[in-house]
Structures are given as C-alpha cells and as structure tokens.
Structure 1
C-alpha cells in the first residue's frame, strides 16, 4: 500500500498493522523523515484504532527492515518495484558477517516455504511432535511488557506445567492462539527443551536436546539457504513473523551441560564461518523462541519445516568432517563482538585443553616418571613441578615400558601423589608397531564411546614416528598429526622427546630437542629438563617456552626416585656446558658447611670453613633462594633448616 492510499482510506480491523507497516515502508522509499512517519502515519493508525504500543512496535519493525533496491520494472522506465516485491536475479551479494557470500552454492536450496492456509491449527502440533515427547513438560509465554522505545519483550515466567500430550489434545479442538492464549500484539514464545515443571531457568531444563539459532543479519531467504546448504540438523525452523528465522538445532547432549556448551560453541562457529551471524545471547538452554501458529501484529509466526538437514548432531559432525572442513575468513568486527571462549587451563599459567605440551630432557632424566607425575597431578587436582593443575581425566598412552612395569611405576608415584583411580586410564602399546595416524584413528574411534579426557599423554612420541627426525617436512607432518589429535578430541596432548647428544647448556632451551627445529617451535608449551653442573646431585633446570602465557622463572628440580621435586638449594647451579666460569661456592656448599661451624654461622666462619673469601660467601647468599644475611650471620629464609 502506498503512503497516499493509506492516508486517504480507512483500515478495517485485521488489516491495520499490515497496512501501517506497508505505508511506513512506502514512506521511507519516498524519503520521509522518521519524525514525519511517526507523526502523520502514527496519527492515522491511532485514528484507525491501534494502541500506542502496536503503533510504536509496527513502525519500529518497518524502520529496521532494509529497503529493497529500486530496480526499474521492464514494462516502464519510470516504474519501480514496491518494497515487498521478491527480486529474483543475480544482483550484488548481501554482506555476511564474515564478509563472505552466504549463498546456496552450486546446489539450489529448496524454495522458501510460504505460510499455510491453516497454519494456526497445523503448525503448533507439528512443532510439538518434532521437539518433544508426550510426557515432556513444556514452558511457553504470551505475556509481554512494552519498553520505553516501544519494543516488546516477554514478561514473567509464563506457563511451565503443561505436558506435550496435554497441549496436543487441546490443539485437536482449538487453534494455537486459543490453546496458549496468544495476543496479536506480541505473538507467543516457547522454550525449546523439556522442563521440570518447577521453573523456567537453565537449572529447570531436564535434557539438553536443542539450541536456538537466530540471525537477522541476512534476509530470511538467505538464512534458509544457509541452513539447507549446510544440512544443519534442525528439528524445526520457524518464521518469527519479523526479519529472522528461529531454528531449533539438535544438540543431543543428553543431561551433560558441559557437552551442550561445547557443541553450541562449535555450532555457532561453523555457522558464522559460513556467513550466518548468529545471536549468541540465545546459547542458554532455557532460551525462549517464537511459537508457531499465532500472529504477531498481523504477521504469522509459522512453521517453515521440521526434521530438516542431518537427522542428528553426530550425523552432522560426520557430514562436516567428510567435507574439507576448512573454515572461512572471519571479520575482526564480529570476532571482537563475539570472541570465542578460551579453553580451560589444565596446568594453570602453562597449558590449556586442546593445546600441546612437549617435555624434553636427556636420556634417563626420568621423563616418563615426570609425565606419570603430571598424570597424577591432573587426576588428583594437585601441582606438578611447582604449578597447580585443574582436576580432570587423563589417558596415558604408554608406548615404551612393559605393562607390568608401568603399572608398578604408577603405584610408586601414587604413594607420593594420590588421586581418584577413576580419573586415570592407561593404554599400554609396547611391542605394537603403530604409526601416529593409525594411533590417532584408533584413539578417536575409542574415545567416541568414552567420557571425554582432559589430557592425553603420548610417551614416548618417537615410537610412532616413521619419518626422518631431522627433516623439517616430515616433522611438520608429524606435528600436524599430534595437533589434530588435540583438535579432534578437545584434550590437551603431552608427549616426551629426548635431547640431542652432548651438553646442552650453550643452547637456547627451545633448540635442545633432538632432530628438526620444528619440534622446538610447534608445541604450545615446552618444558626442558637440562642437567646442572656438579657431581654431588642429580639436578636439572626446568625451563619453559610458552606460546599462550607469560614465561615463568626457571626452577631447579631434583629427581628423588620416584618423583621430581623443586629444589631451591640448586637454584644457583649452572647448566652443564654453559659458558663462563662456574660458581666457586654454591648454596649446597654453604648448607653442608653449616653443620661444621660452631655457634652462629657468621660470614667469616663460613669463609674459613670453605677456604674462600667473605665476598664469595656474601655473593653466594645473595644468589640463594633459601639463605639470607642477618647482621652478618647466615640463616635460612624461613628461620630453620628445612633439610634436617
């Protein structure tokens, strides 16, 4: 309806909202200001009998809708298509959230469904059958409040005690608006997951079956095309009566909220990478969606389709993985507005889930014992080499030690670091010749039937390498396979690797691993255990190279069978092979000398006992992490000797 026709005619009840909407769109095409629209057209709508809330909501809806481009009709050079005409051509692409055309690709999507003549009786029952079981409790709401700007939103908790069977029985007698007592001013809303009948919060959801996908960045026809092209497992797709579709996507997470959240994040990322900007506020399981079979300002909320796309989440994942799986570029604007959540830290300040950790060290440095300690620390939520760990589940893939010996090692470590036995699983593969791709295939297949693991340990990694350790190309392929294990499982992956031959003190920590430099640069976290000088202890310097976090200060550790422990006594030891002159006197020398000094351990007495200068003693104490000077007397920082 053109603006002039609207102003000069009376609109009967039942057509007033749609007529006002069309008149506003026509006025916008004629470059009317918003103030003039609200004054003249709003006044006309009031005279026709519309309430202030209905007028404000209709005008807001029309003003927010993008205008169709003006294109000459072929019959006349001075005629233009009206705002609501369907333009079917290959005109310029609509921008998507990633800046990439969200088209139907080479396969045409099914034509956009129109509303049925009996949608008020047919759509709501079909919707219920697609989402719920007869015994499910359903929550819906038809009450609304008007905001200051005229927009409407749900008010209160609505109805949350009726069963699906009860609603279906009522639908057999009456149309949906009567069944749910819907009002044309606002339409109606419904929650997409079954509830417990006690409330409408996330805590009242009894099963995480569906999540709402909604977007208004693209025309509804393009939204429909994207959902169809990607075969998104939609239980239902509903036209909101506005400018968006509401898809109830099958998440199939059962009663596992963490799995629900993980799958929702993955779903949103996939859709956004294909150009569909989703409203991330809809991620919670109790979110309200539009209820089909009712009207909203005269515009139908109707069911476009049910049971479309893949039949389940798992089937969709298999379909996605069967394609190239390559994500599309994303615009920083959208990433900045909706940043993806960071993976949880499993070693605080060191490693996240889905990331990789390399533990490097010389032969017989106790690397396997250190990794068993790591497994115990995660399984028990304790600390590992001075760093606190989150409680989680661990899978230890033992590739080198015979099964009985490995079990005994874990028992020895468990005496020092107890943990719940259900949090550790062991896969012993000594003597089983297996490449890393084969190991990954078997691992992913087995994990598909298990509760997820937070950490997977591969020890030692060289057992699965069939390439040349010194070839950057072979090691890149090898490291990419390790990364794909972390990506596909969502678990952190830790593995041990040996140092090259010779003393390592003169090398940077990142370059001490044997073979190609790829090994020292690919992992997200690298821990190196490098030998310390001196024959009086088996000490190592633990150094970190991190991609995700600030690098912690190096610490000295000693392997006191069967566990490694942080040892501050060795903090002033140098690495074997490190350049420069070695320290003449170390903290350990002074601690040993304390037992031979009578009375207070003065700097002078210790210098005499060790045969060095007082300056040497002072320098050593200043370097020490366990000793300090108190008016010329050497004492322990905590006031007593912790080594007695």
Structure 2
C-alpha cells in the first residue's frame, strides 16, 4: 500500500537520523530493504548524522537484514515521516479509533526543522546559587505551598538515584532561610554530592508525601530531551513559544523546561501533557516520556553537578498561559481550504448533492425537526427512517432510498424496536427493506456530542448511510443551550459527521416555553438561535386547536366508517341498493340504515366499534408543519393528524382554516373558550340526541347504555334527559316522547 502511494526515499527527507536511537535507525534500513531499495540509499540518508556516521557501517549492517516472518515495512518510514512533520496528500483509508479526534493533527507542526538554527545556552555571568534557587521558588510557588526537594542519593548499577527527599517546608520558609544562609545552601536543604547534584519537585505538595496523590496543584509539566544538542533544544522550546515558567540547564546534556499546564485535576493534567509532548515530538523535540508524572523531580538550579552548573537559563518565556499557547499552536497553520475564484469554476461547477427528501433536504446536509412535547416527534422521525429505507413518501415529500442509522438516546431497546414495527403496521407497508435500517441503542450510555461524533463516525464509516437520525439531541447537548458560542461548537459536531460520512444528519429538539403561534418557525426551538439558523432545513411542528365543529365532523366520519364496514360485511346487498353517497356522510343516516339492515345482535355488537371509534377521535391531535429551507423554495404549510402512532396528511383540508393560537395569557385563552349558558345547554341537548341515536336498539335505549356511551354517571344522564325534555324514562329504559 505504502509503496504504491508514497516515494519512500522522499519521505526520508522528513526523518533526521541524528534524532533516532539505534533500534529506530536499524528499522529504517530494514524497511528500505523490504521495499527494494539499496544499501547506498541507506548510507546516503545515514550520512546526515554527522556525529555518529561511520563509513562502511551501513553496508555491513545491510547484509544482516535477512528478513523475518514479521518484517519492518514502509509503514514504519511513513509513520516516522509523519512524526517529522510530513503531511499525507490525502486522508488515509482507515477506520477511526474509538476516541480519535476528527481531522488531521499534523497542523501541530510549526517548525521547519530543515531551517532550524540552534540558540546558544549562556551560563550566568555571576554565579549566585542562592539567588538562582530563590528566583526559581518565587516563580513556581506561592509562599504557603509545600515544596519537595532531594539532596541525597543512592547508587544502582553505577547510576546515582535520588531518594524521596523532604516536603515538610513551604516555599516562604525556604526562601527566608536561604536569604539568611550566607550562601550555604546545604545548611538549609542538606548537603548534596557535587558529582551528583540535587533535585526539586516543580508542583506544590501537601507535605504528607511525594507521590502524585500528594500534589495539590497540577500547575506545571516537565519537558526534557536528552537526544539532541543543547542549542537546538533551546531553539525549539523558544520557537514553539512554550509557556515556560522556568528554563533550567540540568548540568548535563539536557534542558529542563517547566511548562505551565494549569490543569484542574489529574485527568486534565494527563491529557494536556500528552498534547504537549505530541506537539514537541512533531516539531523535532523528542521528549523523555518518563517525565509525565506531576510529582516528577527536575534539576534544582543553583547546584553544581560533576563540575557543571545547574542553572536558570530564563523565566516566564513564551506564551503567557496554556490556553493562549494551545490556541496559538492550533491556529498558526490551520487546515482550512484556500479561497476560490468563481471565474475559474464558472463553466465547470461542482454537482449538487442529490436530494434525500425531495424539495427539502440534500444528502450530506442537516435537518432539524422542532416541536413541543408529545407532538410525536420521535414517531415522525421513525416514519422518516422507514420512508427512506423503503424509498417511499414521507408525509408530503418523496424520499430517496438508502441505508439509514437511527441513534436512539431516549427509549429502552425493546420499546424502540416495537415502535418501528408499530409504525410499519400503522402505515400498512410491507417491511421489504429492513436491512436498510440500523438502530444504535444508547439509552443510559450517551455521551456529549463532541465525544459521540468520532465514535459514531467510526461505526458508520463503511456502512454507506445516506442519513443519520439522532433522537433526541437534549441527551447529548454540551454546555448551555442558550449560549450561542457553546451551541455553535455543539452543532459543529453535526457538520463533522456530514463531512466525514457524506450523510445527512437529522435530529429533533423541543420548543421553548410559552405560546408559539405568533413566532416564526425558526424562532420556536428552545435555546440559542444557533439551533434554528444552523440546519439546512428546519421543520417545525405546532399544534392546532380543534373546534367543536371539527371534532364533531371527525366523529361523524369515524362513526360513518364503522357503519359502512358493518353493512359491507353483513348486509352487502342492502348497502349497494339502499345507501346513497350522501347517506355515507351522515352518522344519523348510517345508524338508521344499520338498525334496519342488521340484526339486533349485530347492531348491539357494532356499538363496541362505535365507542372505540369515538374514543379514537378524542385521542387524535392536529398539527401543522412549517419550514425554513436553505436549498429549496419555501413550501406551503402542511396540516397533519397525529393518529397514534403515525402522522397523516389532512387531505380533506378541514384543518386549512384553523389559525395558530397567538401568545396570550392563559386566563385570556380560557376566557375565549368559555360558552354562554345557552350554548352549553344546546351542546348538552345535541350530545343527548347523538347518544340516543348511537345506542338505540329498536327505538329504545337504557340509562346504563347512555351512561357508558357518554362517559358520565347514571344520575348525570337522568339530569340531562330531564333538561332536554324530549325523552321519557321508565324503569331504566328511555324513549322519545310523542
């Protein structure tokens, strides 16, 4: 793969042999041989390490590369080149790791090592050990913070190792004693061996120990490199603008940079140190990774070590803080595209993404469905998933067919699966393309969106989804939903998913509190206006308040349908000969036909269906979808019925004339709904007539039957019959007065 994509010899330009250890140097040689190159290529590259190159050595070593079952390949060279600042010409074809960050991190390279000039490290003109150490303490510590230090050592395998040392005094106490010691540091800290030197811990401790658990502030990290000249170490540290509090010469072959980390806790400290070390590595400073611990020892300035001074080179250099430095590093060479001149593209414009939902949304774009609680938003998204999977119409719009992932953040697994089956059944569609629907159940396992996005991309990368549905987003919102900058960061995660996968991202969100009728559709979603202005298509569901006339009309249709079904089943000839088109639109006429055509038992059995139909109508709600589209013309609002568990377009246009409720105080809304006493009385009389007609058997009904049908007590039925005045009551039976 690497041989076909990259010229290995060219990649060697990014690998400095002087920066490699012996094993890494040998690995490059083995990779070159495995790729069919010559010993001369290995030798020409190795000559760049002037300090260690010996003529003829490369050719001798080359002959020892005999191959193995697990050979070193070009991939090793590719990775080393990347570490050296090489950026591949295009994305690698690989799966993302579990916690990968989306996008390249090669933008962390800010130094061209081929043009790097060393910067000399100068010893202090006047050697004042006390002044050196006091300045170090004053720079790193507050006066009340405990300081850990070591002046004694022990020998292991010819190496001098530091002991645990002491941590029982504060910086203020040490500074005071040092200023009064007349230059004798040993009288304050204890005598050290001049051939070994002394150490100090750069983070404050609790005075009870010297482990990571004893660190009270995760303020600094140590950057140290033993594998390059001091002047180059000094140059890279300064070129990188590292936020260095103290820069110390170790008295040996390295510089110790005490870098400002300012982490809130140990977990954040580790992440920041990993990031710091990665930046250093990519820019040619090979950091000793054993120095990651916050309780780590560093060389103490003002000390002699084997005839060399351990001294302060500088203090407070580079950027002022960690945040300022990180922002600078990531902004100095971004991966943004260059501006384009439209004249160069005018005659060869790129193709538009194909529509996913015709007239509304393109593939690779974003759609937000907003609405109040219990609007059936999740059901609507499931309907959309099924429509895309089957390549059918969703509400009023045709859908492209393809694979879709539904990210379920709210329902338990069983409920979610049953919902899909219930919606399929209610739509009356055969599940011919279930293989097009993948469900990722994350209830109880959801994480913030910036963490979820790379995990989602990793799973979806090779599935060829044309849409990703995330339901609902409140489960993964990071930050304050009313904060524009925080929500901008949040919705940017959707852009990353769209860009990486080429899939549309569809998600739903809830309305803000209060009335919504007098707001524009894009202003109803809760939180920052970023929500409404970010997606390419915003659909908004708002409930319509149904009048009594509309409800009665729907009840009439439902009861008529029940009667028609029963007549078609048990009296088909009667239905064909005696029932007119006008009759089929009147519940009174149809109930009368049923009394005539059906047997007493059949008519009685039909009452259960009539009750169920009436209850079903009472449970439905009416909705209007409005939209704001970026890529397509604005569409006419679409009116819907939500008949659990699906939404159905109102083809009768009965909802067309309903005006949206404006934002009024609740007491004003209730006032407008109140009926006059005469209106209420008339409504009760009509309800009695309807109940009598629906429950009548041979012209008679019972108090018990009316009570069950109307959903009120026997006493209420008797009171309403008395108020009506048109019916008699005798021994629980009811009849019409003559």
Q: TM-score, normalised by structure 1?
A: 0.41
Q: TM-score, normalised by structure 2?
A: 0.36
More helix by share: 2
Q: Answer with 1 or 2: which has the greater Rg.
A: 2
